[in-house]
Structure 1
């Protein structure tokens, strides 16, 4: 009888250990998620857990932090290369410029990392003095550090500014600030747990293992062969609660050098579902004037194209009044 009792005791101990691990897993899921769906069992534990983002190391004292008004409807974070002064100037003169008495408050900030070019660093100092809209991180500004740049921006926005919604975009994108803040405040049907953008199809989510590609990710950085659903980095919106959940996951999940895929991974782990929307256009084609009553973000604009797009927005205010307003994301 003794061997049987020992065997039963071992079985009971194993079951207790498994149950403890399961309860801990569920507790972490509830603390990090916003939709209450918990963790996905489809992914191995080791594929996601490691050294998360060290947020304290991302902040730099070289440039004074920009000031922000707390509780605005929308904050727009624009990733920009230090040398892209022309891009930033074009944005400031077009869709980042305040358009009179806005019904719903919003603000644009540029995310920039360090440069080893001393002349360029000096110009950035002058630019910040003139506009006060640059958030500089402690990391060197490279494409492989884009993930750190975006995590830094979201962390700063959540901790310092607490907007209702955060839009991350790039400096070669046009944002329809004439319509987006009002849409978010009046028509957006998803007030919490919002993560919306242009989703990639399954075949576009395959992890690139070619070391010559700028999107290369090694097996050590990410063990699976495809990413969970994620929105293109041209532009995606997070509600404040969803951004907080993503940041909590970032403290636990090792970053990968593909920014938009990493945000999608964090959202998936936090239980935040991606909402795909055609209002985020990956390509800049010959849009009709009335398309600017619908589109919120358009990719691949030169600095010269920004003024053309902004003019189309202005013309759409009167030219397309007979068109029915679209009040959903699809």
Structure 2
């Protein structure tokens, strides 16, 4: 009886095994295709709510698809301001944002040269943090939230999102990109750009890295790792540190146009340098942007525009120094380097 039962099930069993084999073969082919389109884990691609984007946005089109980054709502901004300051900030850095609002982002009355500061934030992984960011935006109206995950490797997306929004919605004469651990001399910078700056178009200026520090890092364990597939050369073109760089509106628009064709990398400031070179925008060096906070004296605040590495409590002291440096000849003094011995 047993052999007869086995014979009855032989044909459907064989058919089932054949179907399973075909299914496994299809899965293996699909996996191989996916590996071609979405290579190595160390390779960089935008993350939207933790998911890889559709292959249609990669493949032949290697640049950024800005429709994946933009959100429907954003802060209000008056068109044609002298300066718009874009501050990259991690979703959980509420204390740093509060310190900035109390200090260099606080405006006294109506400034002679209009400017505005906006924080760039991605999607928080924790629901409580995401809710807090939403409340923050409702209360202060100065947070631009993108559709990408709020991670360090997505900083490039955050900056590109901010630049795109600024150019389309606000159209300021100049854009400053900086970080939430930096101090911006808002008592000097808008006036300097409006009255003393001699390069009003094609401007891309900041603290440039030396050639030795422009080597592409290929070590996968580094947070600045970039695969050869994402960027083939071993050296980046000249670029300004992400602590702070100023772009004129036309330069920002050229960079954004090129970004649609140039594959992004997870090193935000280097990527801007790559785009600037491709767009024919020359990177300019300026000592007004300093990468280190080394105990600057009051007189330095007549010259410096961006200072890096300030903790939230240090923003208050920096603001006091900025206001003490204010004087009748403040704007004129800003055009000259600091006096000898001013820095200690």
| TM-score band w.r.t. shorter chain | 0.7 to 0.9
- Equivalent residue in structure 2 for 1:179, among 176, 188, 194: 188
Q: Is the 8 A contact 2:303 2:335 kept in 1?
A: no
Displacement of 1:325 in angstroms is 1.3
Distance in 2 (CA, whole Å) between partners of 1:322 and 1:178 is 9
Which residue matches 1:325? 333
Alpha-carbon distance in 2 for matches of 1:324, 1:272: 28
Is the counterpart of residue 287 in structure 1 residue 310 in structure 2?
no
Alignment of 1:285-324 (within 5 A): 285-318=294-327
Q: CA deviation at 1:60?
A: 2.6
Contact 1:280 1:298 in 2 (8 A): yes
Q: How does 1:83-94 map to 2 (within 5 A)?
A: 83-94=92-103
| Selected match of 1:200 from 205, 209, 212 | 209
CA distance in 2, matches of 1:234, 1:209: 23
The residue aligned with 2:122 is 113
Aligned to 1:271: 280
Match of 1:80 in 2: 89
Partners in 2 of 1:198 and 1:323 — Cα distance?
A: 21
Secondary structure at 1:325 match in 2: helix
In the TM superposition, residue 154 of structure 1 has moved relative to its aligned partner by: 0.1
Q: Secondary structure at the match of 2:205?
A: strand
2:95 match: secondary structure: helix
Higher relative contact order (CA 8 A, sep 6+): 1
Aligned residues of 1:277 and 1:329 also touching (Cα < 8 A): no
Indicate the larger mover: 116-125 or 207-216. Answer: 116-125
1:127 counterpart SS class: helix
Distance 1:328 1:242 in 2: 26
1:101 deviation in Å?
Answer: 3.0
Give the equivalent residue in structure 2 for 1:53. 64
1:324 Cα shift? 6.3
Q: Deviations over 1:64-100 (max 9, x none)?
A: 3111100000000000000000000000010001122
Structure 1 vs Structure 2 CA RMSD: 1.7
Query: d(CA) in 1 for partners of 2:206 and 2:247?
Result: 9
| TM-score of the pair, normalised by structure 1 | 0.82
Given that 1:188 and 1:328 are in contact with CA atoms closer than 8 Å, whether structure 2 keeps it comes out as no
Q: Which protein shows a greater Rg? A: 2
Change (3 A) 1:328 1:238: farther
Once residues 112 and 140 of structure 1 are traced to their aligned partners in structure 2, the CA distance between those partners, rounded to angstroms, is 9
Which 5+ residue runs of structure 2 have no aligned equivalent? 1-59, 339-344
Is the partner of 1:232 in helix, strand or coil?
Answer: strand
Q: Which runs of 5+ in 1 are unaligned?
A: 1-48
Q: Distance in 2 between matches of 1:125 and 1:195?
A: 32
TM-score (normalised: structure 2): 0.79
Aligned residues: 279
Instruction: Work out whether residues 303 and 337 of structure 2, in 8 Å CA contact, stay in contact via their aligned partners in 1.
Output: no
Deviation of the 1:326 alpha carbon:
3.8
Match of 2:24 in 1: none
- Asked if 1:170 corresponds to 2:179, the answer is yes
CA distance in 2, matches of 1:166, 1:316: 24
Q: Is the 8 A contact 2:192 2:331 kept in 1?
A: no
CA distance in 2, matches of 1:91, 1:324: 26
Give the structure 1 partner of residue 46 of structure 2: none
